[in-house]
Amino acid sequence: MPAPLSNVRVLELGRVFAAPWAGQLLADLGAEVIKVEALDGDPMRQMGLGVVRDAEGRETSDRSVFVAVNRNKKSIAVDLAAEGGAELVRRLAASCDVFIENYKVGDLARRGLDYEAIRAVRPDVIYLSVTGYGQTGPYRERPGMDNIVQGLTGYMSMTGRPGDPPQASPVSIMDFSAGMHGALAVVAALYARSSANAGGQHIDLALLDSGLALVGYKMVATLLSGEEPPRGVRTRGYIPGGAFETADGWFQMTIGADSDWARFCRATERPDLAADPRFADRWLRTDNQEALLADVEAMFRTRPRAHWLKVLNEAGLMAGAVLTLTEAAEDPQVRARDSVLSIRHALGGELPVVRNPIRMTGTPLCEPQSPPLLGQDADEVLGELLGLGPSEVEALRGKGVLGAAPARGAGETG
């Protein structure tokens, strides 16, 4: 069976995380995604600790951040500022169902690549704009970034421990949330176009709005109660809970319902805790958490992690190891579901990828394919969509409109 979006073509002018992530999600679902990059590439090609290597083990110019959010795409490198560059993109957009961009408000309008300009050549286009703060409002022209939005949404007011500075998440959660919301919006707009004859439309997606949706349940509770949530990792009503140190590692546990507390006391052979009136229900355990946590933390440090996980899991309680990323990739459950795979990079080296989490029986997703080399698909894309021959493509390269064809085979140095 073909993938769900196998009849959809996307033109992506995405950089960094949010828009490329939306593009990758659509590509995983089967869409043909053509990534338009600057002549020197998406800046994320140079970001990340991991360096992609070729078949001989030599370093290439691509790094881990780029390859994590750009698989299953094609690449064409265009100088939008060069004479004819923006026009080339408009001509490509005429053959595309979806246009994705995450430039600052107004930047693409100056190039004649805003929604109205693209709609003029493709009236039913689904145009997704991902920005820091949206197309309206006093912040609309500001540049946006994940960690800035983490602060503005209130997220960072809840992180870290009391007395310590607020902490941003090391994972770009606002970017990835926006990318997922963006992909969902595109799929919804495509469905509306095909089923309700809704035509094309402009999707205005802000990292700020997406981030507010992430913290929404906390914000609603705060606005209803008038109380800001306390900082830290403990949740009222779920004590003992959080990360606990054992004799040889850490694990995470959550005890909420009083029935779970009773099972916890039986499993850990602690009838004294079960009988202690200070811990008789979940709210008393919260009120007296300092004493309770001191007790169970000391208990957990006396035995290895495997012992406690066996005891707690056999009792049907929610507990799991706190793993490093390397350990998580090798976890038996992760391996059983092939959630982390190794594929062949375009230059021949092995490349680890995290599989899309969506599993569909009737219309399976595309298998992960290598992220593209910079500009590798220019000849194919321009030939198929615009009917340009090899000499015409080379002429565009000679004028500086189009990037050079990438070298294949020998590894690049970066």
CA-based R_g, the chain, Å: 26
C-alpha distances in Å from residue 238, one per residue of 86, 241, 260, 314: 55, 6, 10, 20
Q: Which residues are known catalytic residues?
A: 175
Question: Which phi and psi (to 5°) does residue 140 adopt?
Answer: -55, -35
Report the distance separating Cα 32 and Cα 11, nearest Å: 8
Specify burial of residue 37 (Cβ count, 10 A radius: 0-12, 13-18, 19+): buried
Residue with tokens 């970034």: 145
Indicate the burial class of 161 (C-beta count within 10 angstroms; 0-12, 13-18, 19 or more).
exposed
Q: Are 108 and 78 in contact (CB under 8 A)?
A: no
Spatial separation of the C-alpha atoms in residues 137 and 208, rounded to whole Å = 12
Residues 25/69, Cβ–Cβ less than 8 Å: no
Taking residue 281's Cβ as centre, other Cβ atoms within 10 Å add up to: 13
DSSP assigned state of 319: E
